[in-house]
Each structure stands twice: as C-alpha cells, then as structure tokens.
Chain A
Amino acid sequence: MRNRRMFVLMIVFILFVAVMGFSITDRKKLTWPENFALDSTSFVQQWLYRPAGYVAGLFQDLSNLHNIYKENEELRIAAAAYARDSIKFNMIDRENKRLQEKLNFTERQKKLYDYNYLIAQVVAVSQDPYDDTIRINLGSKDGIKLNMVVVTDKGLVGRITRVEPFFSSVMPLTKMSPTSPDSKGIAATVLGKELDSFGIVDTFDAETGKLYMSKISEHDPLKKGDTIITSGLGNVFPRGMVIGTVESSQVGDFGLTYTATITPAADFDHLTEVFVVQPVETEESEQ
C-alpha cells in the first residue's frame, strides 16, 4: 500500500514536470481546451473587474478633486504648445512624404511607422507574484497578434504573450529578465537624441522597482532625466513608445559598456484601459 502510494506520487510528479517543461516553451498556438478555459473565465471575469474598477476610480477621483484646477491649467498650456507644434508637424510630415515618393519607398517602408491604437479593457489580473499576467478583451478576431506592444497614455506596459480568439494575455515589463527563456529585450534610445543613443532595456528589478538599460556605449549622450523611448530597431517593437526616465547611469558589469537605471513611466497596477499598438498591415508585410 505504502509503495503503491509512493509510486503514484512519483508518476504524478514526473507528469507535472513534463507538463511544466512543455508549457514553458515558446508556444505560438494553444490547443482548444486551453483556449476554451482562457476565454470562458475571462468572459465571466470582465463582469466583475470593470464595475469594481469604476467604483474604485470614482473614489480616487473624489480625493483628487482639489488637484483638478491646477491640472487643468497645466493641460491648457500643454494644449497650446501642441497646437503650435501641430502646424510644424504637418509641414514636416508633408515634406517627408514628398521625399519618400521621390526616393521610391516601397509601400511597406512607407507604412513602417504608422500604427493603429486599439483600445482594450482589462478583464482580470493574475494573482501570482512570479507570473503577472494582465488579461485584455481583444483577441485574434480583433487582429491581435503575438508580440504586439501594449501601452497606456503614460507609457509602455508590456507585450502580448498569448492570443486566444476573444481575449489575450499581456506580460508586463515587470517580468523582464535576461535569464528567463520567454522575455525579450527592447531596443531603446533617448528622446531627442535618437541617432546618437542606443541601449537594450532587458531587466526589471522587483526589489527597487526600476528597469535597467544595458549595452550603452561610453560615448552615449544619455544623462539623468532623459526620456527613454523604444527605437523600433529590429522591427519587433514599434518606434517611439515611452519607457521611462533615466535615474542614473553607471559602468556595467564588464566595464566596457554602461548601464542606466530607468524609472518606468507607466503604472502597472490597477489598469482599466490599455492600448494595443498594431502596425499597419500591407500586402507586402503579410507575405
């Protein structure tokens, strides 16, 4: 009897290790039971998450009421600045288009940096400290694909790691680590110094709550207070998404490159709405 119990336990243990090892690999497509479980739980969860979010948001708004006046003033100044800039932007944009025509850019090259922003509602958030997954209510039926980037109005939140027909999972930046098999480093640069600056954002330190950008050359003009954005090099992540601000820069592990500490711009807790950045599809890029 004892032996049989031990035997069953061992078999179950081996089975679980096999399942874990299998599920950890980079799986593009899920089987239908997984899709069903994921989609149906999310379907129910959305009726709980959103009302709770609205109620919590209401209380937060009430406590923030006295800041509204000041914020409004700041926003007005910002809006005026944007109005001035938009004229400039339109002219540069037209000029850019004309030059692209002249240089015979292909359709794909022209649309490389055009993005659609799809609004998605958060449905549930995983309660596992090692596996934060944010579930959103857009899926492959809405044109979501793997590795699309998810942002809020403040900055980059994460990327899509699982896609089911009606819902998908987002892995937040807080789970980035160079040693884990499923995270991808983000090619990044400094806003305003895009041509001179380059580094890879690939680590999040949970103990300090900061991101680390590594592989920065020693001639890099990066300094404290700079805004770090995605560079779009490598074409996995879109260009120009805000990641955070530089807090400090120090010599890296081997003394050849620099490592910068970055305070993330986006808030990862209590999200209600996020945007999925969708590159514009052309016939060429589908092939």
Chain B
Amino acid sequence: MSMQRIIGVMLLFFLVEGTLFYWLVPSSMVDRIIPHFTLAFVLFASLYRGRHSALILGMAFGLLQDLAFYGRIIGVHSFTMGLVGYMTALMMERRKSTLLMALTMIGLSTLVCDAIVYMIYRVFRLTNETFEWALYQHMIPSLFLQLLFSLAIYVPARRWFEGSFVAKKEEEES
C-alpha cells in the first residue's frame, strides 16, 4: 500500500479519535481511556518501515493534533510522537519483529510517549497532577486500548508498511 493511502487511513483514524470514538466510551470513562490511534500507526511505521518515515509521520500527525485542538500549547504531541517513533525505530532497526515483540514495543513506547507528554505539561505548569495519579488514571487504561487496537490492526498495518517498503526495495535493486 502506498504512503498516500496510509496517510489517508491515519487521517481517518485521527478524525475518529475526537468524534466517533469519544461517543463510544461511556461517560464515566471518558477522561480515562485516551485513544492513541495515530501513534499506533507511527509505531508500526517505525517497526516495519524505517526511522525516517516514522519520524516524519509522527511529527506531522502530532502537529496536526496540536493545531486541531490548540487549547494551550503547540508542539507537545509533534515533539513526543516524532521522538518516540524515531527512538523505537532506532532500537528495532536490526531486528525482525514478531507479533509479541511488536505489541511489547508499542505498549512500552506508548507509555514512554505518555510520560514525556506529562513531563512537558508539568514543566510548563499546565497540570498539577502527580505522576502516579496520571499513570493510574489514564495512562494504564489507555495502554490496554492501545494494545487491543494494535492487535486488531496488526495484520493489515504490517502488510501495508512492510509491503510497500519491500516493493520499493526490489524496484531499487532491479
């Protein structure tokens, strides 16, 4: 699948995050389950594509989120998603990821991403929550959602990201 199509799918999921998905979550869990659908795609890109596409996708979709919901600060998601995507790709570059490995990495990276976002907000004094509370309140519940979502899209996402990459490589070689 070409990059344009992947970006289209990601845009769709980005739009769903703040609208359709928001209504699927029961009222009591709204501020506890936070979707990171675009981050999942960025991490798939870093596992099965390469560090540069992960970096660019992460920064672009982070910036989109920052701009579309500009409330207090711009650049937090752009920075963290780019950084986390790049770092994950850097760590996993030489290894072949199986399903279990991919899920573990996505889970870990999502946690790291949440932690960095929390720290940035804390540094700029935009939140007074303690880290333990934030971890228990929304990071862990959203982690489960993220794992479920990654499991659901694992097969197609891997095919999309790996497929087009392999095809491109073969083209270059021939």
- Is B75 an interface position by the 8 A CB rule? yes
- Is A257 an interface position by the 8 A CB rule? no
Q: Name the prevailing secondary structure of the B interface residues.
A: helix
Q: A24-B124, A41-B64 known; A127 and B22 CB under 8 Å?
A: yes
- Is A169 an interface position by the 8 A CB rule? yes
B74 touches A131 (CB 8 A): no
Interface range for B: 35 or more
In the assembled complex, the CB of A114 is this many whole angstroms from the nearest CB of chain B, namely: 30
Q: Which of A123, A171, A179, A207 contacts B133 (CB 8 A)?
A: A207
- Is A34 an interface position by the 8 A CB rule? yes
- Is A147 an interface position by the 8 A CB rule? no
Q: Which of B65, B74, B127, B133 contacts A130 (CB 8 A)?
A: B127
Interface string of B7-23 (1 = CB under 8 A from A): 00000000111111111
- Is B128 an interface position by the 8 A CB rule? yes
A23 touches B75 (CB 8 A): yes
- Is B117 an interface position by the 8 A CB rule? yes
B70 touches A38 (CB 8 A): yes
- Is A45 an interface position by the 8 A CB rule? yes
The chain A residue with its CB closest to the CB of B69 is A126
Q: Please measure, in the bound complex, the distance between the C-alpha atom of A56 and the C-alpha atom of B21, giving whole angstroms.
A: 11
Q: Please measure, in the bound complex, the distance between the C-alpha atom of A52 and the C-alpha atom of B69, giving whole angstroms.
A: 19
B18 touches A126 (CB 8 A): yes
In the assembled complex, the CB of A9 is this many whole angstroms from the nearest CB of chain B, namely: 9
- Is B174 an interface position by the 8 A CB rule? no
Collect the chain B residues with CB atoms within 8 Å of residue A269's CB: 27, 30-31
Q: Which of A123, A133, A206 contacts B70 (CB 8 A)?
A: A133
Collect the chain A residues with CB atoms within 8 Å of residue B15's CB: 41, 44-45, 48
Interface string of B40-80 (1 = CB under 8 A from A): 00000000000000000000000011011111111111110
A37 touches B68 (CB 8 A): yes
Total residue contacts A-B, CB cutoff 8 A: 142
In the assembled complex, the CB of B14 is this many whole angstroms from the nearest CB of chain A, namely: 8
In the assembled complex, the CB of B84 is this many whole angstroms from the nearest CB of chain A, namely: 13
- Is A181 an interface position by the 8 A CB rule? yes
- Is B126 an interface position by the 8 A CB rule? yes
A270 touches B30 (CB 8 A): yes
Collect the chain A residues with CB atoms within 8 Å of residue B35's CB: 127
Collect the chain B residues with CB atoms within 8 Å of residue A19's CB: 74-75
Q: Which of A126, A129, A169 contacts B138 (CB 8 A)?
A: A129
Collect the chain B residues with CB atoms within 8 Å of residue A24's CB: 72-73, 124, 126
- Is B6 an interface position by the 8 A CB rule? no
- Is A132 an interface position by the 8 A CB rule? yes
In the assembled complex, the CB of A258 is this many whole angstroms from the nearest CB of chain B, namely: 21
Residue in B21, B24, B71, B126 with the greatest tally of chain A CB atoms within 10 Å: B71
Q: A16-B79, A130-B117 known; A124 and B19 CB under 8 Å?
A: yes
Collect the chain A residues with CB atoms within 8 Å of residue B126's CB: 24, 130-131, 180, 182
- Is B143 an interface position by the 8 A CB rule? no
The chain B residue with its CB closest to the CB of A170 is B71
- Is B166 an interface position by the 8 A CB rule? no
Collect the chain B residues with CB atoms within 8 Å of residue A52's CB: 19-20, 22-24
Q: Which of A42, A48, A181, A267 contacts B68 (CB 8 A)?
A: A42
Q: Please measure, in the bound complex, the distance between the C-alpha atom of A180 and the C-alpha atom of B67, giving whole angstroms.
A: 20
Residues 148-171 of A contacting B (Cβ, < 8 Å)? 161-162, 169, 171
27 A-B pairs whose Cβ atoms sit less than 8 Å apart in the complex? A19-B74, A20-B73, A20-B74, A24-B126, A30-B70, A34-B67, A38-B68, A45-B18, A48-B19, A49-B18, A55-B23, A56-B23, A127-B21, A127-B22, A128-B34, A128-B71, A133-B71, A135-B69, A161-B71, A171-B71, A175-B71, A180-B127, A206-B133, A207-B133, A269-B30, A270-B22, A270-B30
* Chain B residues packing against A (C-beta within 8 Å): 15-24, 27, 30-31, 34-35, 64-65, 67-79, 117-118, 120-121, 124-129, 133-134, 137-138
Q: Considering the complex of A and B, which 5 residue pairs feature the smallest CB-CB distances, nearest first? A: A133-B71, A126-B69, A23-B74, A48-B19, A49-B19
